[in-house]
Chain A
């Protein structure tokens, strides 16, 4: 509504400020014509590969850090420092190492999601209630079984929260990477639309990006996190 009113007031020229109807039209044709679908497929493939690697590497490093004080004080401190670098800053390096292309962007996505996952995993494992571990030991559980049957499940709340935040970071890193990198993802389509001066297309893509970000968080991660927190008795309303 407000959008339409501003449009009618014609503060900016039409080309720079399209009407909602124009945008709707672009969205519709973009999807029916398949252009948005292809861009989404490309983006999601990179995102999923990068995110999966980030979770795996992050959880593994988190375990390592939680397992030894020495590793915590060295590697842990180092990763804390890495965490403060926005992952897109790595792009020049990534381009040198992998050349401009698919791998460079996936690398940025991995870096976007990993550090936070490392911290969540190590915090989760360090904070497992020691009485739970004692109880398990009195029931004859030790070694790797103790690890997989008690320590990992007990740290799931932290792991889920880590996964959720890493997803958001990876998503941001992907968009940044695609805007600057090459290929045929959503970000590249956005840059291409800008070059053509197609504002309607630019806004459509921004809407898609915003929607996807909030839908995955609101429909998948947030409910999952809530369920886990409730089950683990960590929900404040409980």
Chain B
């Protein structure tokens, strides 16, 4: 239902030169699929997501939703950003109702849909609260409800849980899986956390850097709900890690120049297999 064809993207840099960020990206995403885009920071994941959202134009190539080429943003694609991006002057209800009012729906219709989506993320008690009164996890749930309220076919999520603590992150991963199973949305989920990608996705697209390109695609053939430490998932994590190691080394060599001297298995991986946000 979503076809990404030969997408290339370059940014003009301050010194006038062109920085190629995406190179020949081709993806075919089926209806109802949960896809993760996984790769080290700076490899162009956000750029690709913004292009799919219609917030940015590709240098060449096209994005087709159900056969129609997109032009600009549209309500068939909802976006959840890493920092929630709620409107601070609106309370939870009005944030979620924002797009509905824009569409010009009737008042009772707006109310029904907004309340419905606030319920989906379990925030009914907080519908009159303002963003500054909510925790990071709650804000992210409001952002999800706000995106769902437009009833998009595709939900685009850019490291939505990246800024949350581990506990909250696990909770939200669980809730997101439930929402995905209930609503059957197509979800494109950007992350740099291998475990998160393995836990959530049907398919994992691994990005290489400089310029960003699709390095490899994995299907995750495990039943849901998934529990950690099942042999298959761990094995998959290791395989992905191996592939990404190369990429990370590439980035590090670039950043540190001659000082960088990689020794086998010397990277201090933490148990969550988080590649960190600043690599």
B79 → A minimal CB distance (Å): 4
Nearest CB in chain A: distance from B132 CB, A: 4
* Residue numbers in A under 8 Å from B132 (CB-CB): 230-233, 235, 238
The CA of A222 and the CA of B89, in the complex, are separated in Å by: 18
A135 to B87, CA, bound (A): 9
Q: In the complex, what distance in Å separates the CA atom of A138 from the CA atom of B52?
A: 11
* Chain A residues positioned under 8 Å from B131 (CB to CB): 233
- A150 CB contact (under 8 Å) in B87, B99, B103, B130: B87
Provided the pairs A230-B132, A233-B132 are in contact, do residues A139 and B85 lie with their beta carbons within 8 angstroms? no
Contacts of A129 in B (CB 8 A): 85
**Size bracket, chain A contacts:** 20 to 34
| B55 interfacial by beta-carbon distance below 8 Å | yes
B81: CB under 8 A from chain A? yes
Q: With the chains together, A131 CA to B3 CA distance in Å?
A: 25
Cβ-defined contact, A138 with B89, below 8 A = no
Alpha-carbon separation in the docked complex, A156 to B89 (Å): 9
A138 to B150, CA, bound (A): 10
8 Å CB interface, B134-148 against A: 146-147
| In the complex with contacts A139-B99, A139-B150, A140-B103, A232-B89 CB distance below 8 A | yes
Q: How far is the CB of A25 from chain B (nearest CB, A)?
A: 49
> What B residues does A134 contact at CB under 8 A?
50, 53, 55, 79, 81, 85
B73 touches A140 (CB 8 A): yes
Q: Does B259 count as interface, using CB distance less than 8 angstroms?
A: no
- Give Cα A196–Cα B18 distance, bound, in whole angstroms: 76
* Chain A residues in 8 Å Cβ range of B98: 139
| A-B residue pair count with CB separations less than 8 angstroms | 62
Instruction: Say yes or no for A141: interface residue by CB 8 A criterion.
Output: yes
Say which size band chain B's interface belongs to.
Answer: 20 to 34
B61 within 8 A of A: no
- Decide if B102 touches A153 in the complex (CB within 8 Å): no
Docked Cα-Cα span, A178 to B131, in Å, equals 46
* Contact residues in B for A132 (Cβ distance below 8 Å): 85, 87
Give the Cβ gap from B257 to chain A, nearest Cβ, in Å: 32
Tell me, in angstroms, the Cα distance from A129 to B87 when the chains sit together: 10
Is A145 among interface residues, defined by CB-CB distance under 8 A? Answer: yes
Q: Mark B24-65, 1 if CB is under 8 A from A, else 0.
A: 000000000000000000000000001001110000000000
Beta-carbon nearest neighbor of A228 in chain B? B89
Say yes or no: A138 contacts B102, CB within 8 Å: no
Of chain B, the residue at the smallest CB distance from A135 is B85
Closest chain B CB from A69 CB (angstroms)? 14
Interface contact A153-B99, CB-CB below 8 Å: no
> Is A35 part of the contact surface with B, judged by Cβ < 8 Å?
no
Bound together, the chains give a CA A69 to CA B268 distance in angstroms of 46
Indicate with 1 or 0, residue by residue over A159-179, a CB within 8 angstroms of chain B CB atoms: 000000000000000000000
B99 & A140 in contact (Cβ 8 Å cutoff): yes
Closest to A131 in B: B85
Report the separation of the CA atoms of residues A43 and B99 in the bound assembly, to the nearest whole angstrom: 47
**CB-based contact A138/B87 at 8 Å:** no
Tell whether A137 is near chain B: CB-to-CB under 8 Å: yes
Residues of B within 8 A of A140 (CB): 73-75, 99, 102-103, 150
> Is there a chain A Cβ closer than 8 Å to B83's Cβ?
yes
How many angstroms between the C-alpha atoms of A157 and B98 in the bound complex? 21
Taking A230-B132, A231-B130 as contacts, is the C-beta distance between A138 and B79 under 8 angstroms? yes
Output the least CB separation between A55 and chain B (Å).
19
Which residues from chain B contact A235 at a C-beta distance below 8 Å? 132
Complex: how many Å from CA A134 to CA B83?
Answer: 12
B276 within 8 A of A: no
Establish whether residues A137 and B130, one from each chain, have CB atoms under 8 Å apart when the complex forms: no
Interface string of A218-236 (1 = CB under 8 A from B): 0000000000001111010
A137 near B102 with CB under 8 A, answer: no
Most chain A CB within a 10 A radius of its CB, from B72, B98, B103: B98
Give 9 closest A-B pairs by Cβ, nearest first: A233-B132, A139-B99, A135-B85, A131-B85, A138-B79, A232-B88, A137-B73, A153-B89, A138-B73
B residues sitting closer than 8 Å to A (CB atoms) are: 50, 53-55, 72-75, 77-79, 81, 83, 85, 87-89, 98-99, 102-103, 130-132, 146-147, 150
List residues of A whose CB falls within 8 A of some B CB.
129, 131-132, 134-135, 137-141, 145, 150, 153-154, 156, 230-233, 235, 238
List, sorted by A's number, 21 A–B pairs whose CB atoms are closer than 8 Å.
Answer: A131-B81, A132-B87, A134-B81, A135-B81, A137-B55, A137-B72, A138-B54, A138-B77, A139-B75, A139-B99, A140-B74, A140-B102, A150-B87, A154-B88, A156-B89, A231-B89, A232-B88, A232-B132, A233-B88, A233-B131, A233-B132
